[in-house]
Structure 1
Amino acid sequence: MSGEDGLVLGIDVGTSGARAVAMDSAGDIVATGAAKLAVFSGDHRDPLGWWKALQAALLETLATIAPARVRAISIDGTSGTMLPVAADGAPLATPLMYNDPVADPAILDSIAAHAPKESAAHGATSGVAKLLAFQSLPGVFRVIHQADWLAGHFTGLYDVSDENNALKTGYDPASRCWPDWLARTGARTGLLPDVLPAGAPVATLSPAAADAFGLPGDVVVVAGTTDGCASFLATSADRPGDGVSALGTTLTVKMLSDRPLFAPEYGLYSHRIGDMWLAGGASNTGGAVLAAHFSAERIAELSKTIDPATETGFDFYPLTKPGERFPIADPQLMPRMTPRPAEDGDFLKAIFEGIAGVEALAYERLVSLGSPRLCSVRTVGGGARNPAWAAIRERKLGVPFLPAKSEEAAAGTARLALSGARKAGVL
């Protein structure tokens, strides 16, 4: 069978469910599947629920393609979600999700004392904190990430991770190793998984997994990533200077860089993606500000009256309450949204301009910290569908706005599977 006939599978597992896509060698999605976690479990921390949702999404995808065409598979999970397992992968405790804090002050003090300031492992929700919380359980073989555990169901290996999931657990992506300081926190570093680059081939399917899904036994399982990195990769941004703005409840900007960026004062760190680095930050501005003043219907109505080529003359920094993370690190920063224009259309336009100004400042901040200059922007999230806002943003950022290939995180993970399949010589 020729390489053009081959397909790869990407799977995204989040807090609400699982999605799967089949992708051809040209990067086009040819089949999809989805399943809600709530159908299988009432608890988003239930690993069996994760696995059942994944199975359902994958089987739905496989039902519309020839499984014999599949060459590789890769999985992403929520960043920072961890669980302790026995050697056969059996969970030994309820997982701690990405936003579950570890409350033991001794653990947090030890991390603060030994972790370098630029490490992503600081804080009560870090992977290191979860390792320290789990490591004394009887029979623990490894403490691994959600994506590691799910991938283990396909390989039988529960001691392998990827560089992106490992970042918040203290992994050093620059030297590509678990650093010495981890042991000084009291962590049992022998419980940490081996780490491979995202997109690296791990192993072929176990016989049990091949039988369960009707897949060829030589399908390659590829090291995955986090859900956030997968969402970036899904857009097809792939060159230094390519930016992706997520316009949801908040504004998140990410850019590919030829060098790593670390700025803990902004909560900024870098994921290693191939030979490049993915850096980004999250602002408190975004769709939540719009929703605080207008309904979605009113925004759509008023947007039709906006001329995006002109300026209102207002200088807003739109926030719903005091405090900003990025591109200004100031927990006391006050919203700037006065004086309010008399007309609702002008007020909405001024908010659009203000958020676009924060977005432009965010990319400027990345450049000031060492990233390449911004070359292009792709947009995802609800705000991407407003033409007036898009035109205002394009004017303020001054770079081409390119279409996102996909907004599906599973598509980004499938791109990693494509990379791994090519490295393994199976596509």
Structure 2
Amino acid sequence: MPDPLSPDDAWLGLDLGTQSARCVAVSGTGQVLATAARPLDSHRDGPRHEQDPEQWWSALTGACREVLTHLDPRRVRGLAVDATSGTILLADAAGTPLTPGLMYDDGRAVQQAAEVNETGSAVWQELGYRSMQPSWALPKLRWLLEHAAPATAAGTRLLHQADLITWRLAGHQVASDASHALKSGYHLAEERWPDKELSELGVPHSLLPRVVRSGSVLGTVCAAAARATGIPEGTAIVAGMTDGCAAQLSAGALTPGAWNSVLGTTLVLKGVSPHLVRDPGGVVYCHRGPGDSWLPGGASSSGAGIIAQQFPGADLELLTARAAAAPGDAVIYPLVSRGERFPFRAPDATPFVLGDPAGEPERFHACLLGVAYLERLCFDYLDHLGAPTDGPLTLTGGGTRNHYWSQLRADVLGRRVSLPEQAESAIGMAVLAATSSGASLPDAADSMVRIRQELLPDPERTAACQPRYLSFVNALTQRGWLDPMVADHVHGKAQE
């Protein structure tokens, strides 16, 4: 047999995002061989957000066909699919959609979420996330059961967004993965559906898919799907993950204590733990990872979006150079919109300024520093929960385009950081697909994830930043947003 991580083999990552469907082909040594995307349309109406599930399939087949025109299909060994977290639909026994896809941020199920949280409180507490939001899959399923005419028809199935694609690829229904099933109420620790609670909520067990861990082989591509996509018949279909977890794989954050910090409009942290991390504050929750790993994470309402808000149309390269030359010590709490959700929950939180930035460059630097301090607080909060945080750290997202900012974050954190060449969900799925060859996930990532740069912290700057960081933490505590126990933990760590 050829080397499973050979440059001659190709692994496909299929990604269903909000605005597009993507297919990426990656060699066993990390070379991106081909990539293609097709747009997706959405319909929004107040809190409702829907897509046509048939478009998911047509867009992905188009992207796959384009990719397969750029390489020999005989090189393709396997594929995996990621999709948006909490997006669901109902389908009939043949896999034909009966409802639109209710998207990951569809917020119509407010009443149903309250019922779900009352009925399933003990389970959600046990699993560490404490409660479900209206946009989670189970409240939306309850809404469909109450309002969609076909919901109670014989043979009706609940499908997560990725499930429709794997069904079409295999030619029959295959298992869902535990990552997508999390927000439907799947009991990740006991690896079963909580039948008692679901029964009380009026959810028939016959509606629910079988669930396996991510990385399991679900089946192979059937003849009809091969004709539609160009992917060879018999190609292995590997159980995927949600898009956020897939992006974590693409960054190579796969060993206990490893983390991927994604700085886009908001800041998102995803890590690896050998045990389930439970959060009494309900701001961190865990996916089940491949093998025996757990993937804790949290998403802030703060992040790089503060730059677009505060400096619209600015020349950011020039502004960065001026800020680096005269940084000042002011700090702006970088909340993008009202209310914070990680590393603490404060629905009424608003931005504030510590110090008096003199002019635009200092105000810009205060925003950069605010994000870096918030990021450090996120890690201190995770450490407070007992999550391992001392492994490798990768930085991804649009914020990494600013080299000065990445270095500043490394300095504030006081730790080495790595910046991958490619960090997108589809590549993470190609890495996961490669495990069907028998390679472990860490081995696949070592071979396929390429690091373009490593940054070392400046110890003097790390020490100089600490007093201002503690002042930032104190300001959050004084406003009643940050738990004093967490603040005490932060101060204790700073003295070590």
Instruction: Please report the TM-score for the alignment, with normalisation by the length of structure 1.
Output: 0.91
Q: Report what 2:315 is aligned to.
A: 298
| Percent identity for Structure 1 against Structure 2 | 35
Distance 1:166 1:103, change over 3 A: closer
Q: Report what 2:24 is aligned to.
A: 21
1:311 shift after superposition? 6.5
Say how many residue pairs are matched: 421
User: Which residue of 84, 104, 125 corresponds with 2:135?
Assistant: 125
Distance 1:123 1:325 in 2: 12
User: Which residue of 266, 271, 293 corresponds with 1:276?
Assistant: 293
CA RMSD of aligned residues (A): 2.4
Distance 1:328 1:123, change over 3 A: closer
For residues 300-347 of structure 1, give each alpha carbon's deviation from its aligned partner in whole angstroms, at most 9, with x where no partner exists.
Answer: 211112338x97333432224542111122222342214431222111
1:126 shift after superposition? 2.0
Secondary structure of the structure 1 residue equivalent to 2:153: coil
Distance 1:349 1:214 in 2: 50
Secondary structure of the structure 2 residue equivalent to 1:352: helix
Secondary structure of the structure 1 residue equivalent to 2:314: helix
The letter for the 2-side match of 1:133 is: W
Q: Does 1:148 align with 2:151?
A: no
Distance 1:358 1:162, change over 3 A: same
| Structure richer in helix, relative to its length | 2
1:246 shift after superposition? 1.4
Q: Report what 2:272 is aligned to.
A: 256
Contact 1:375 1:400 in 2 (8 A): no
Distance 1:366 1:109, change over 3 A: same
Distance 1:332 1:213 in 2: 48
Distance 1:100 1:106 in 2: 13
List, as ranges, runs of 4+ consecutive aligned residues in structure 1 with deviation greater than 6 Å.
none
Contact 1:243 1:255 in 2 (8 A): yes
Secondary structure of the structure 1 residue equivalent to 2:297: strand
1:26 shift after superposition? 2.2
1:420 shift after superposition? 2.4
Distance 2:312 2:231 in 1: 48
Distance 1:395 1:423, change over 3 A: closer
For residues 257-279 of structure 1, give each alpha carbon's deviation from its aligned partner in whole angstroms, at most 9, with x where no partner exists.
Answer: 22222326343210111222111
User: Which residue of 85, 99, 102 corresponds with 2:105?
Assistant: 99
User: Which residue of 188, 202, 205 corresponds with 1:186?
Assistant: 202
Q: Report what 1:61 is aligned to.
A: 67
Q: Does 1:419 align with 2:427?
A: no
Distance 2:363 2:133 in 1: 38
1:30 shift after superposition? 1.5
User: Which residue of 212, 219, 222 corresponds with 2:235?
Assistant: 219
1:376 shift after superposition? 2.9
After superposition, residues 399-414 of structure 1 pair within 5 angstroms as 399-414=415-430
User: Which residue of 146, 160, 166 corresponds with 2:181?
Assistant: 166
Distance 1:260 1:351 in 2: 33
Contact 1:261 1:279 in 2 (8 A): yes
Contact 1:144 1:159 in 2 (8 A): no
Secondary structure of the structure 1 residue equivalent to 2:420: coil
Distance 1:329 1:106 in 2: 22
Contact 1:163 1:196 in 2 (8 A): yes
Secondary structure of the structure 2 residue equivalent to 1:267: coil
1:11 shift after superposition? 0.4
1:212 shift after superposition? 3.1
1:296 shift after superposition? 5.2
Secondary structure of the structure 2 residue equivalent to 1:74: strand
Contact 2:109 2:140 in 1 (8 A): no
Instruction: Please report the TM-score for the alignment, with normalisation by the length of structure 2.
Output: 0.79
Secondary structure of the structure 2 residue equivalent to 1:318: coil
The letter for the 2-side match of 1:343 is: G
Deviates further, 336-345 or 8-17? 336-345
Q: Does 1:82 align with 2:98?
A: no
Unaligned runs of 5+ in 1: none
Secondary structure of the structure 2 residue equivalent to 1:257: coil
Q: Report what 1:385 is aligned to.
A: 401
